Amino acid sequence: MSLEGARERRVRTGGIELCVAELGDETRPTVVLVHGYPDSKEVWSEVASRLSASFHVVLYDVRGHGGSTAPLPLRGGFTLEKLTDDFLAVADAVSPDRPVHLVGHDWGSVQGWEFVTVERTRGRVASFTSMSGPSLDHFGHWIKQRLNRPTPRRVGQVLGQGAKSWYVYALHTPALPELAWRGPLGRRWPKILQRMEKVPGGDYPTASLPSDAAHGAWLYRDNVRARLRRPRPDAHAHVPVQLITPTGDAYLSERLYDDLGQWAPRLVRHTLPAKHWVPRTRPDQLAVWITDFVNARDADTESARPAAIRSRSLSQAKQRRHRTSAERFGGRLVLVTGAASGIGRATALAFAEAGARVVAVDVDAAGAGRTAAKARQLGSPEAWGEPADVGDEQAMEKLAGRVAADYGMVDVLVNNAGIGLAGSFFDTTDEDWRRMLDVNLWGVIHGCRIFGRQMVERGQGGHIVNIASAAAFQPSRTLSAYATSKAGVLMLSECLRAELAGQDIGVSAICPGIVNTNITATTRFAGVSDEEQRRRRQKSSRLYERRNYPPEKVADAVLRAVVRNEAVVPVTPEARGARFLSRVAPGTLRAMARWEPRL
């Protein structure tokens, strides 16, 4: 998407002209997007196009960048005080009667922190969304606090960020940055971004990149050393702040924001598994978070607040877990199959508590609807129940089309739907095998192929979770069909993880042991009479009830696996033990497999 259809205007301030572009309905809330270094406003084009349906979106080229003129002389022309003058001039021009919602990336975020902590902007900003750019004042205090009270961990944090900030030292070098950007670096930068950051091409970066980068070096020279040496003591944000932290940022440590709560008391945090240039690589997720945050600030009601700050009634331990999960999953779209009961229902509700939007899928349409209703009660901003048989490829294709059209693209897919089958190999009929593999294996294949392809085509990463079982690596004489299906799920997950790693799509296989769900009540026991079938189901259910390992613990493992991008996660002590033996003493497991349980 380019900004060719945008309305452009020129705003004069302090002897320069700023190039301003506007999208969307001017009667709606105004969102101002401020770019970083060495970018121009076009870095925001993908995000702006998504926001323009709901907001009046404003982008402007920072002085000396893109279509804006540069100050003369350059030295002293890029101070934060002058950049604040520019922002106020733009805000007065595009939204003279209402405060604007501010969004900044990289140096746009550094500027934004200045705008929301100085007194003269009070009343002109309604909210601030920051990504990949700290306040220089907060940064200065962060360094001083760690060096004034040094510990190995604190000193290590400072040294680690110092190493990440190598480019800051380079940009203070006289003349060399300008020569590099106007020469070979400027020509190679688009390919560097594509290779190192996986930034797609298109309308970014623009042809003005060499001069933008050369002028932008003065952002660092005019501000960094002065502010880090003498940070302002009163740099408290006077607006609500949303912090979005890319966990793979090569230039900024996550630890920089550990103390941010003392400077921004109304703070909502999100983390994103991405690198630095998230406006280009994750526009869908940014648009969702920005939209939710702006709408919540405009509504200014408790019910509209993000789940990240709605946890007062929970226990302290659960609050900590809730906040951590909400930073990662708030506003993301999660689809869970087999969500009417058991592990699927617990997983859907765990994501809902973390503020995710949830699609609960099950062949039991009423059960899926009940899970969705409960998800909304627990904090999901939106949740829907959808009926589908995961073993039916056409049904899954229709589901994927419906979800994409009505709810958006899935960020996290949980292939959980499964059925149980026990009995000897020779008592297991062809029909038993077909139904078992259709649901337990083909259901996972359909989900991975259909929704995984959508993730790949979108190009913004994602995560696939496949619920396997400890039976995947623990043979049993009475579970040949079930164990075979789950072993297939495990190997599929391992192979798919390798294939999708380059697409920033994680794949995790969760392998529970004995969990107290209703799967035993529906498990088929091959080769026995109906009466014996009922007896075995009842006895198996009592066994699982006595074990009493709750599905909520498996759900917690699912969320952790996504956050940590774990490959294989055995859940329950017996699953972890079997996984260990499968690696170091497989003969022991084979001997155990000969035992026939008494049911």
| Bridge partner list, 359 | 335, 384
Q: Which residues, in sequence order, are CB contacts of 143 under 8 Å at separation 6+? A: 158, 228
Compute CA 579 distance to the chain's CA centroid, rounded to the nearest angstrom.
30
Give yes or no for a cis peptide into 38 (omega within 30° of 0).
Answer: yes
What the block records as the tokens of 546 is: 């006595």
337 in Cβ contact with 355 (< 8 Å): no
Distance CA 469, CA 510 (A): 7
Active site residues: 482
- The DSSP secondary-structure symbol of 6 reads S
- The DSSP secondary-structure symbol of 362 reads E
Q: Which residues, in sequence order, are CB contacts of 210 under 8 Å at separation 6+? A: 181, 182, 186
Compute CA 261 distance to the chain's CA centroid, rounded to the nearest angstrom.
21
> What does 58-73 look like in DSSP terms, one character per residue?
EEEPPTTSTTSPPPSS
User: Which contiguous run of DSSP H or E holds residue 18?
Assistant: strand 16-23
528 in Cβ contact with 536 (< 8 Å): yes
Tell me the C-alpha to C-alpha distance, in Å, between residue 476 and each of 490, 547, 591, 599.
17, 19, 10, 15
Q: Which residues of 559-593 are buried (b: 16+ CB within 10 A; e: fewer)?
A: bbbbbebbebbbbbebbeebbebbeeeeeebeeee
What the block records as the tokens of 394 is: 């056409």
129 in Cβ contact with 47 (< 8 Å): no
